[in-house]
Amino acid sequence: MGDVSDSYGQVNATLPVVPRDVLRRFHVDEPSDTRFACCARLLQSTWREMCGMKPGLHRSRSGSQRVLGSRLSEVDAKQGRNFLTPDIARLARRAVAYREYGALIDEQRLWENLLSSQPLTFNLFALCQVDEERRHRLFERLFPGFFGEVEKLAFEHSPGRGDTRYLGDYTAFDLFVSGTGPDGRPAFIAIEVKYSEDMRQPGRSGSARYRELTRACALHLDPDAPSLLTGHLAQLTAEHLLAALIREQWGQGAHGLFVTIAPAANREAWYAVELYRSMLDRRPDGVSFMAIALEDVIAAVSEAGDPDLSARLHTRYTDFSPVHRLIDDWQPFTED
């Protein structure tokens, strides 16, 4: 098969254009999906079937319903089966109950949507919230020497939604990790997690506050570049600015890092990442930007001492062997 190994144990970033009859068989024929999103949706449907869970329903704005293979049934969703262990499900429920004021958490999406990056964030990091040794090992693997001590993890975090000292809107990070650096100064990592998303977001070009901040924060080579506040880059710019403002509030001695995590095969996400990188000022002062492949985070979970969770994450999110097998087994020209 060329790009795909014979054992299906490892595949490169090349994913197929899946035939529509295969997609229909698994109830995931969504014409608006990108190539990666299509394969990821199919992978989630095959994973759901492997786990013995029934598909859920997509409800349109008009009120009509249809079966969607990348969604859990209401029964399975209520049992927390969008999460890889009961402990992760419990921590997610707690995080939702004690969410920050104004936090925008779509609970139906969190519990039912297998493609959503919110449950992925919990599956990756929730256990670190209650295990000091685990979080120290994992973040040292991912960001060597950045933290001296990791003190707290906050999901769907913003320092002040609607606060004009910041962005004046509801922008938030999927995960905010805070502690101290090796020098004892305050340190944080603000993380945005993507799975199937293509990075397109509503633009911010109509906001005078955003343009004021691109100039004041001095993160970009051209702070007036229109593309910073439109299309693929709008969310990256917004969250990077928010991280810079947090550092300003904490004091210039604080260490800050803004990180995006996305699967290696999500070409649209990495296109946005590379374009954003090309627009950054390379000076070392301020909050740096970093992007990490989801596969590397999953490997770090194993290296930090939890190979079982790492294997579950790989099977669920990044092992596209079932998709490749479906392509191999596809026989479009068989006679009835």
Residue type, 52: G
Q: How high is the pLDDT of residue 303?
A: 97
210: exposed, middle or buried (Cβ count in 10 Å: 0-12, 13-18, 19+)? buried
Distance between CA 89 and CA 73 in Å, rounded?
16
49: exposed, middle or buried (Cβ count in 10 Å: 0-12, 13-18, 19+)? middle
Q: How high is the pLDDT of residue 284?
A: 66
- For residue 174, the cross-strand partners are none
Residue percentage of the chain with pLDDT more than 70: 95
Average model confidence (pLDDT) across the chain? 92
Q: How high is the pLDDT of residue 283?
A: 77
pLDDT, tens digit, 9 for 90 and up, residues 92-150: 999 999 999 989 889 999 999 999 999 999 999 999 999 999 999 999 999 999 999 99
Q: Choose among 180, 171, 156, 198: nearest CA to 250.
A: 180
Instruction: Evaluate whether 122 touches 155 at the Cβ level (below 8 Å).
Output: yes
As a residue count, the chain comes to 336
pLDDT, tens digit, 9 for 90 and up, residues 240-288: 999 999 999 999 899 999 999 999 999 999 999 999 999 999 876 789 9
Instruction: Evaluate whether 314 touches 298 at the Cβ level (below 8 Å).
Output: yes
Q: How high is the pLDDT of residue 11?
A: 40
Would you say residue 1 has pLDDT above 60? no
The full DSSP string for 230-270 is: SGGGHHHHHHHHHHHHHHHHH-TTSEEEEEEEE-TT-HHHH
Q: Contacts by 131-140 with C-beta closer than 8 Å and gap 24+?
A: 134/304, 134/305, 134/306, 135/177, 137/304, 137/305, 138/300, 138/301, 138/304, 139/177, 139/189, 140/304
Q: Choose among 290, 323, 320: nearest CA to 142.
A: 290
Q: How high is the pLDDT of residue 202?
A: 80
Enumerate the domain spans of the chain: 85-104+116-314
Q: Choose among 159, 272, 279: nearest CA to 219.
A: 279
Q: How high is the pLDDT of residue 64?
A: 82
Would you say residue 8 has pLDDT above 90? no
The full DSSP string for 85-102 is: SHHHHHHHHHHHHTPPTT
Q: How high is the pLDDT of residue 193?
A: 98
Would you say residue 205 has pLDDT above 90? no
Distance between CA 70 and CA 141 in Å, rounded?
32
pLDDT band at 334 (very low <50, low <70, confident <90, very high): low
Q: How high is the pLDDT of residue 204?
A: 86
Running DSSP on this structure, what letter comes out for residue 127?
A: G
Distance between CA 50 and CA 65 in Å, rounded?
24
173: exposed, middle or buried (Cβ count in 10 Å: 0-12, 13-18, 19+)? buried
- For residue 177, the cross-strand partners are 153, 189
pLDDT, tens digit, 9 for 90 and up, residues 152-184: 999 999 999 999 999 999 999 999 999 999 999
Q: Choose among 99, 70, 207: nearest CA to 157.
A: 99
Task: Give φ, ψ of 256 to 5 degrees.
Answer: -135, 145
Would you say residue 18 has pLDDT above 60? yes
Distance between CA 324 and CA 244 in Å, rounded?
42
Would you say residue 335 has pLDDT above 80? no
Task: Give φ, ψ of 60 to 5 degrees.
Answer: -80, 170
Would you say residue 312 has pLDDT above 70? yes
Would you say residue 206 has pLDDT above 90? no
Compute how many other C-beta atoms are within 10 angstroms of the C-beta atom of residue 271. Answer: 13
pLDDT, tens digit, 9 for 90 and up, residues 289-305: 999 999 999 999 999 99
